[in-house]
Structures are given as C-alpha cells and as structure tokens.
Structure 1
Amino acid sequence: MKHPFSRLFGLGEKELPIEKEMVDERDEIKKIPVSHIIPNRFQPRTIFDETKIEELARTIHTHGIIQPIVVRESDENQYEIIAGERRFRAIQLLGWDEVPAIIKNLSDTETASIALIENLQREELTPIEEAMAYGKLLEMHNLTQEALAQRLGKGQSTVANKLRLLKLPEEIQEAILQKKITERHARALIPLKDPEKQIQVMNLIIEKGLNVKQAEEQVVKLLTVVEKPKSKRRAISKDMRIAVNTIRQSLSMVSDSGITLDSEEEEFEEYYQFTIKIPKKKS
C-alpha cells in the first residue's frame, strides 16, 4: 500500500508509510539485539512522557509487541529506528535483550520525513516540536509554507503561526517545551520584538499565573509606552566656548552702556542660539 506522502513530498514510488501502512505482509520480521539499535537522529520529539512509556511497557509485558518497530541499517551491525521509538523505549525499560523489527532501506530524507510526519499525525508534539518539524520539512523538500500546509492538510495560517514561535528567544521556547506557558501566551509576546521585553512578560506570566488576555494587556502597555528621547549633549570645543563667552561679554558691555537688551540663549544638539531684541527709542 503506497502512502500518500510518498507522492506529496516527491519521494517517488518508494513507500513512505506510517505505522501499520509501513509494514508489508511480505516483510520479514527479525529479532535484533536492543544494544544494536540507536534512536532516530531526525526524531522531532524532545520530551517523552515517562508515565506513558511505563504504561506501554506494562501493556507489552502483558500482551507482547503487536507490531514490530521499523529500522534501517546504519553503521556496521547497528540499526537506526525509523518508527516505533516509544515501543523501543518501553522494551528498554522492560530489560529485554531483543526486539522484533522490520528492516527498511530508506534514505535520510525519507527517514526524516517519516519521523516528522508520524509524530505530526499523532498530535502529541509540543508547539515548538511541531514548529521544528515544519521547519525541517520545508528545508528538506524546498517547499513554501503554503505548499507544506496543502500537503499536510492544514491551514497556511496554522503553519505560519507555528513557525513564528521559532523566532522567540530560547528561554521562551524552552518554557513552551516545559509547558510553563501555552502557545497562545507565546504568540501574544511576538509583537514586542525586543527579546528582553518578551522574556520580561513571560516571567510575569509564570510568576503571576496570567491568562492570555492579561498577557496581551501587558504587551499592549509596553507597546504604548513612549520613551522621552534623551538629549545628547555634545562636548563643547575650546573654540566654541570662546565664541559663546565672547558673545555673552559683548551683550554685557552693551547692557552696561545703558542700552536695554532682551536676550535669550538656547542650547541645541547641533548649535547654540542667541536671540537678541533691542527696543527702538521712541522719537
């Protein structure tokens, strides 16, 4: 059975099945030593729920493995997981020496695509892991966001919103991974642009337990604060000081002669300005 993603991602007629569709009745199931198996280097999932792995291990202990894992030959006498890493981790937990597996001959691109799509279909990835998976698929298959969205059956805005999360500071991405803040909280921080302000509001969200609306209000406050521009006073050169003092002395001499002066002195960033008013005598 050909998986639809084999054509969607331009991978020819080779199978790109996910889970059951990956296994053909003609495939030979072999017992492979657990010590000879390595994780999928393209695995998008960075956090595995240990509780669920333990539950799966108990199920496997009671009922055995209903479906073998799928691997490909890596280095000599080593096999890289293509699909079934949760089952593999459960088997490790049980302390089994061997695991039933089917060996497939797939390229890096095919292996990576399967790992990414398999996890995307499960809908168990964190928003950051999902965003990273989208980014890798875009890069591997040289697609636009619109094309990727169409091939995954998702809206373009969904893909775009996920990818925007990758522009946030690492501290915020890690907070999403650890589920300290939600995706909607993180998206509320994007308009701030300034990483320091984004982290500042994120910390406030965590400390105060702010909901999304309250987080958005904090962002609006920061965006509407208008900072007064600080005047930059330039150092006055020796010649400038002499010129300014000469004008002041001249004005003082005129005043001492009995002529009424109305003068105003202003300092600007680029220059000094003297405004002098000499009233006319009435005839």
Structure 2
Amino acid sequence: MTDWLGIEKLHLSPSKPDGYVPRPTASLLDRVKDHGPIEPVVVRPVANDKYEILANAETWVAAGRAGFHEVPVTIRDDIDEHTAQDIVQSYYGGTKGSAIDEAKHFEDQLAAFGGINCRGAVGKLAVAIGRSRPYIAHSLRLLTLPAEVQELIEKGVLSAGQARPLVSISNRANQVKAARTIIADKLTARAAEKLASNIRNGETTTKPEKTRNVTEKSADTRRFERQVSAVIGAQFSLENGRAIIDYSGSLDVLQGIVERLGYRES
C-alpha cells in the first residue's frame, strides 16, 4: 500500500556508501515536475516520527527540487536494522556505473528467483531489494537493445531516459539510427519518445515537433493523476476523455498494475 509523507520526515540510510549523494536524472526531474512523484520511496520507520530511506532516494530528491512537500512511500515496518542494511547495500550495489550495469546486476540477481524468463521472478526481486517491479522491468528492457546502443549508454553518451523509448521500435537498424539522431540533435527524453512514436507509425518525419498546443490541465487533474500513478506504480494520465496507463509494453509491469488493483490469479 502506498502512503504519503512529508519530505522532511525522510533521511538517507546510514548504511549507504560513503560519499553517496542521490542524483536524479534529467528525465526523472522532468517527469516529476510534469506529473509529480510517482514511484514510491521505500522507507522504514525509525525514532521520532522519522523514516530511513531504503530505496529510491532519487525520487525524494527530485520531488524536493520540483517544489513538492510530500512523496509517495512504501512503509516497511517489518524490516529490522540488519535486514535494512542488506537491502540498502543490495540496492546501491546495483546503482553503481551505467544504466546497463544496473540492468545486468538485476539480471544476475534474478538467477536466485529462477532467472529472467521465470514468471513472477521480477516481482520477487522487487520485494527483496526494495525496488518497484516497473523500475526493474524497464531497466531489463535496455538489455534488448542492440550492442551499439548499449555501448552508447555505458559511455554516458545516451541516457537511459533517452534510450528507453527505443525498445518499442521493432527494427534493430532503426533503433541504432534513432539513437544516433537523439545524440546528434540533443533530443530530450520526451522528444525521444516522440521520435520513437514517429518511427513506429512509419512516418517520414525524423524529428519531433518542438512545440505543440496543449490544453493546460487543472491542478486538481494533475493531483488526481499523481495519486492514481502512485497507487498503480505506473504513469497514469487523463487525455481527451481517456484514462491512459503507460505500461511500456512490459507484461511484468502490466501484471504489477493488475495486482495493485487487487486481482490475484487463483
């Protein structure tokens, strides 16, 4: 269950690596600014109504920078200090290096749950290390990209946010071509999504439009979108009379959404 806490009540774990400072990516900052914090910060209660962050401190930082006073949290009051240390060390062990390094780390950890192709393995790993199922699933999908694109991510030339939309392109040559376009034109993660959409739809336009007319949503609408997004663990939006849930084409993410809505297979 997702709750909300004031950002001042949260603090980094004393078990974190020395010198570690959570640095949210540009794409995460943009997403939080536009839609509010979505992915819950995993915490455990400590003394004096304070909470130790076990995982996803980046969302906590991004929310503060975007001017939000609260963040969605998953409170783990069943975790003792020793278990918390193990979770924090496992979590930060997977965040060193590039996004590809992190994805490979997740892939290695999945071996303990039957492997990457074992049904339900991603969900079990998510619970074990305090990450959300969608986060791990999105990370693993980067490993399906061509080696050339993965190398660009490892070198830091292409960010994970810019690369993630490329997964939805079926043709590997087009994935490489799109990656080069993103780098050459210095496209943002949002513009990269538009570029990928154009390619999927077979459009001849290679560059997304820089501006478009968008009806500004009310504060109540954005607040509702944030609340639903936090509950289901995926981006939710209201567009032109439609309710849209972005599950990024991943069955693991979709299964997690369905389970959060209360459905369990018998």
> TM over 0.5, yes or no?
no
Structure whose alpha-carbon radius of gyration is higher = 1
User: Taking structure 2 as the reference length, what is the TM-score of the superposition?
Assistant: 0.39
Structure scoring higher RCO (CA < 8 A, sep ≥ 6) equals 2
